[in-house]
């Protein structure tokens, strides 16, 4: 990973900022694990996929009435033709991911925790996903950002075996890769904090505070 452009920052500032960033990242990982565990515990039934209505009452992802069958999916959420393509989140949620089959959809997470543990974000040819994150957005297990465009202003994590795929990511918050997760072929423009953790014989950490990266 080679920086294409960078801005100056002092090592002293980096060392002072590191403890608070590390504490916050640890808290995010613990919260993410707790939410995922709760989802597994409470959902003894098979994972349910869902299809977004053609004429939903609002753009609230968490509103049951906006889904065919009146149930928010905990598997894959599929978005076909709809007159509401600006989607928001009103509650914390763990589900498989988002599949957009047609059209240009925008997703905005202002304050919630959104965990993706299945397909992640996937748009068909000719369709697109633009995801603006101002809360916590976590890719878990084998999920992928695929070809999405992500603007991260708070906390974005890739954990376990997840991948950034071929996504375009603009990071002004904290972007975190952990475990066996990978940036793959993603393009990342970074003006925040980029942290890479790899567990081998010892823990390795690589912090990049500012710059632009093509991975």
pLDDT single digits (tens) 140-180 = 999 999 999 999 999 999 999 999 999 999 999 999 999 99
Among 118, 139, 153, 136, which residue's Cα sits nearest to residue 186?
A: 139
pLDDT of residue 22: 56
Domain count, the chain: 1
- Single pTM value for the model: 0.78
User: Tell me, what's the pLDDT at 23?
Assistant: 59
Rounded mean pLDDT, 52-66: 98
In degrees, rounded to 5, the angle at the alpha carbon of residue 51 between the alpha carbons of residues 171 and 86 is: 40
pLDDT > 90? residue 107 = yes
The pLDDT assigned to 47 comes to: 87
Mean pLDDT of 185-202: 82
Q: Which domain holds residue 137?
A: 3-214
Cα–Cα distance measured from residue 2 to residue 25, given in angstroms and rounded to the nearest whole number: 24
Euclidean distance between the first and the last CA atom of the chain, given in angstroms as a whole number = 6
Q: What percent of the chain has pLDDT over 90?
A: 69
- The Cβ of residue 54 has, within 10 Å, a number of other Cβ atoms equal to 11
């Amino acid at each position: 990973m080679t920086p294409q452009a960078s801005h100056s920052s002092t090592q002293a500032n980096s060392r002072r900022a590191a403890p608070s960033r590390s504490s916050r990242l640890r808290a995010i990982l613990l919260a993410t694990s707790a939410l995922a565990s709760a989802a597994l515990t409470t959902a003894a039934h098979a994972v349910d996929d869902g299809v977004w209505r053609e004429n939903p009452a609002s753009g609230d992802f968490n509103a049951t009435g906006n889904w065919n069958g009146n149930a928010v999916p905990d598997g894959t959420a599929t978005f076909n033709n709809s007159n509401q393509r600006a989607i928001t989140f009103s509650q914390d949620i763990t589900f498989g991911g988002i599949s957009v089959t047609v059209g240009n959809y925008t997703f905005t997470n202002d304050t919630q925790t959104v965990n993706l543990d299945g397909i992640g974000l996937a748009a068909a040819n000719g369709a697109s996903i633009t995801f603006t994150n101002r809360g916590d957005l976590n890719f878990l297990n084998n999920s992928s950002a695929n070809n999405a465009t992500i603007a991260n202003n708070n906390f974005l994590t890739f954990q376990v075996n997840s991948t950034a795929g071929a996504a375009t990511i603009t990071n002004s918050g904290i972007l975190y890769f952990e475990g066996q997760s990978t940036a793959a072929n993603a393009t990342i423009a970074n003006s925040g904090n980029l942290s890479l953790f790899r567990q081998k014989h010892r823990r390795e950490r690589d912090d990049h505070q500012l710059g632009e990266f093509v991975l």
